[in-house]
């Protein structure tokens, strides 16, 4: 660990939902759920108003609707999330050249590389407050929770302590006292299965874990995991901030609070991740030949399976189809706590029509990722549109040949609602020119 609290973790609060509330004034202060909107959909993010009803990420949309039927269920707009994330990462790099993005809404920052007079708690606290204000400014009002500590682990724990819109700085020497009363699940990698093993051994809190020898932990959960738990229970973490390097692969993964056992749900998650990977490939002008899935089982066994195409692709449907095929080869009956999709073997060209027309995916199209070019009969809830007379708005709902639009943007107040035939020539999908 460092001698100073110089590692900062920033986490944008309920990011996807917060962007939707920012851009849709009528939804501010109301429950918003972003993800797949159909019966087989999966929740990507829920606003804090929806979380009060028990809605959470990786929950099926069907269950989310039963818990919070009055929420706005939106399919997501990746271009808006990507552009907002870029603004945040730029603000972080203005503070320090050492920034490690973990996802669109989360990053570590090494303050030792920042231009600071010293690294006292008062100085880093002031910088963190000004950084949160800067993030609010560049994102149009989004909030971020920030933690600062002597290691990545402590900074991440600290950022979770005062959500949303909080700041916690853990002074050097206070790490172990902070951790001791916490449940063992605060430690990365301790999910339901590991927590149950530890509970059976009488280990409930980090303080309990601290009294257990490394040999006993290795016996309980395996060598790699046991060694890691022994170190982290004592706040020992020397991982460095690793800024972005040359892209060799593009991947998305998620860790889930509850072990997944429903195969359809896992297929839906992989489909969504494949769509996010495809969007990032296209945004970077890249394609790839090798599709890989990463699956971490309930016992922390991590499996990787891959397949290689004869030529590169950037199509979500192709990546998703291969990912689901790889999943079908694995036994996941005991439960899965992490899923991921990646594409490597990157190139800057694509062979068109290699596989012929894309087949329709058998599961819900991925949330928060634009799919194929929209037809006039497929208006997704939440998508941006523009009308020849009334200007910009978003799809409130559609069905039976009618699409309903609320005309408002981040710069307006709540706007009027109008309905049109789905093939009305005056209504078009809208994307920002730079996207």
Where do the domains of the chain lie? Answer: 1-170, 177-232, 249-347, 384-429
Residues of the chain with pLDDT under 50: 350-377, 435
Long-range contacts (CB closer than 8 Å, 24 or more residues apart) made by 122-129: 124/4, 124/5, 124/6, 124/8, 124/148, 124/169, 125/167, 125/169, 127/95, 128/8, 128/167, 128/169, 129/167
CATH class of the domain defined by 177-232: mainly alpha
Topology match between the domains 177-232 and 249-347:
no
- The CA distance from 161 to 209, in Å, is 20
Contact criterion met (CB below 8 Å) for 43 and 191: no
pLDDT of residue 189: 75
pLDDT of residue 174: 94
pLDDT of residue 244: 66
CATH class of the domain defined by 249-347: alpha beta
- The CA distance from 431 to 304, in Å, is 36
pLDDT of residue 364: 42
Instruction: Give me the active site residues, please.
Output: 106
CA 228-194-272 angle, to 5 degrees, is: 95
pLDDT of residue 63: 93
Contact criterion met (CB below 8 Å) for 361 and 272: no
DSSP per-residue letters across 84-142: HHHHHHHHHHHH-S-EEEEETTEEEEEGGGS--S---HHHHHHHHHHHHHHHHHHTTS-
pLDDT per position as a tens digit, 135-191: 999 999 999 999 999 999 999 999 999 999 999 999 999 999 999 999 999 998 787
pLDDT of residue 349: 53
**Tokens linked to 206:** 């980090």
Task: Tell me whether residue 373 is exposed, middle or buried, using C-beta atoms within 10 angstroms of its C-beta: 0 to 12, 13 to 18, 19 or more.
Answer: exposed
- Architecture field, domain 1-170: 2-Layer Sandwich (3.30)
């Amino acid at each position: 660990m460092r001698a100073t609290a110089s590692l900062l973790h920033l986490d944008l609060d309920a990011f996807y939902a917060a962007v939707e509330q920012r851009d849709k004034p009528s939804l501010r202060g109301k429950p918003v759920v972003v993800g797949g909107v159909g019966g087989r959909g999966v929740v990507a993010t829920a606003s804090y108003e929806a979380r009060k009803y028990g809605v959470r990420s990786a929950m099926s949309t069907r269950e989310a609707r039963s818990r919070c039927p009055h929420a706005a269920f939106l399919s997501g707009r990746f271009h808006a999330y990507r552009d907002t994330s870029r603004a945040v990462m730029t603000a972080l790099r203005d503070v320090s050249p050492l920034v490690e993005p973990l996802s669109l809404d989360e990053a570590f920052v090494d303050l030792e590389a920042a231009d600071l007079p010293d690294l006292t708690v008062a100085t880093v606290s002031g910088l963190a407050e000004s950084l949160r204000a800067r993030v609010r400014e560049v994102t149009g009002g989004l909030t971020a929770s920030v933690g600062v500590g002597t290691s990545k682990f402590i900074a991440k724990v600290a950022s979770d302590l005062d959500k949303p819109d909080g700041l916690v700085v853990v002074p050097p020497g206070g790490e172990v006292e902070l951790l001791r009363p916490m449940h063992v699940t605060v430690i990365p990698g301790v999910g339901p299965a590991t927590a149950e093993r530890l509970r059976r051994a009488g280990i409930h809190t980090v303080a309990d874990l601290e009294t257990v020898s490394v040999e006993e932990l290795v016996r309980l959960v395996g060598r790699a995991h046991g060694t890691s738990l022994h170190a982290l229970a004592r706040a020992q973490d020397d991982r460095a901030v690793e800024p972005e390097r040359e892209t060799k692969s593009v991947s998305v993964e998620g860790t889930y609070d509850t072990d997944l056992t429903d195969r359809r749900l896992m297929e839906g998650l992989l489909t969504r991740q494949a769509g996010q990977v495809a969007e990032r490939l296209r945004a970077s002008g890249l394609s790839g030949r090798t599709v890989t899935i990463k699956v971490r089982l309930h016992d922390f066994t991590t499996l990787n399976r891959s397949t290689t195409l004869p030529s590169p692709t950037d199509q979500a449907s192709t990546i998703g189809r291969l990912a689901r095929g790889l999943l079908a080869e694995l036994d996941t009956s005991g439960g899965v706590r992490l899923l991921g999709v990646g594409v490597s073997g990157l190139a800057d060209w694509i062979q068109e029509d290699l596989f012929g027309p894309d087949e329709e995916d058998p599961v819900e199209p991925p949330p928060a990722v634009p799919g194929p070019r929209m037809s006039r009969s497929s208006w997704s809830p939440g998508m941006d549109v523009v009308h020849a007379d009334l200007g910009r708005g978003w799809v409130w709902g559609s069905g039976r040949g009618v699409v309903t639009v609320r005309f408002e943007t981040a710069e307006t107040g709540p706007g009027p609602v109008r309905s049109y035939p789905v093939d009305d020539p005056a209504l078009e999908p809208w994307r920002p020119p730079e996207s």
